[in-house]
Structure 1
Amino acid sequence: MATVAELMRANLLEVFNERDDDRRAKAIAATYATDVEFADPEGVATGHDELNAKAKGLLDQSPGFVFVPDGPVLVNHDLGHLAWAFGPEGAPPVVRGIDVALVEDGLVTKLYTMVLPA
């Protein structure tokens, strides 16, 4: 069973940073509960298919951009926190944010993304 810290890294790097549809789908199945709720300032996506569409849409509209961790994963029991940066590979990020996730039975059940002011 994956740790909270491993799930936080997988969320950022294996799902939201993954441009290959098959690899992203496999990572989603291994990282999130089937009824996961993902909330960001734009709305709420529920379930694997909606979360996959959200990640794919974000990557499709940002060619050449990558997510990178912007600090260590912080864990408090079943809650994980990871700051991130997003921008062109090898260049300063254009946006920063944080992900906060609730984990139950080794899977992310709720994920909240907050975008930090520029």
Structure 2
Amino acid sequence: MHSSPADLMRRNLLDVFNEPDPARRAAAIAETYHEDVVWHEPDRIVYGRKDLERRAAEVRAENPDWIFRPLGPASELDDVGHLGFQYGPANQPSVVNGMDIARTKDGVIIELYTIVTEIRQPS
């Protein structure tokens, strides 16, 4: 199945980073990212699908009751996708706002950039 950049952005946020089950998250990662994906976070760079899987598990473990919510619709231009996000406790205002931008090729993400635009104190 060939996914559009906008579809990949939604899967990245919801099927990977919101997925609590490790097996389902691993399956989504295998379908969404290239084997040699590079993920640029604000404080680190993650190389490859396996390290992305490990880092996604860490993010989930840091705040297990928090969720990612899309901030507006996913957009795309050629092979680039974009999706704004909110992150925080479920059913409460977000603590973190940001965006993911990805380069895609052949229906998978090859490079992902996560940019944090705002951090607030939790309620």
Identity %: 42
List structure 1 segments (4+ residues) > 3 angstroms apart after TM superposition. Answer: none
Residue equivalent to 2:16: 15
> Structure 2: 5+ residue runs without aligned partners?
none
Q: How many Å separate the matches in 1 of 2:31 and 2:98?
A: 23
What's 1:53 paired with? 54
TM-score calculated relative to the size of structure 1: 0.97
Alignment of 1:80-95 (within 5 A): 80-95=81-96
Aligned residue type for 2:18 = N
Which residue in 2 is equivalent to 1:98? 99
Rounded to whole Å, the distance in 2 between the matches of 1:97 and 1:47 is 22
**Match of residue 117 from structure 1:** 118
Alpha-carbon distance in structure 2 between the residues aligned to 1:79 and 1:2: 12
Separation of aligned partners in 2, 1:98 and 1:86: 11
Residue 72 of structure 2 is aligned to residue 68 of structure 1:
no
| 1:2-48 deviation line (CA, Å, top 9, x unaligned) | 11111000000001111110000000000000000001111110111
Specify every segment of 5 or more residues in structure 1 that has no aligned partner in the other structure, as ranges: none
* CA distance in structure 2 between the partners assigned to 1:7 and 1:63 by the alignment: 23
Q: CA deviation at 1:54?
A: 1.1
- Paired residue type of 2:100: D
1:74 deviation in Å?
Answer: 1.3
Q: Which amino acid aligns with 1:90?
A: N
Q: Which amino acid aligns with 1:81?
A: H
TM-score, normalisation: structure 2: 0.93
Question: Aligned pair count?
Answer: 118
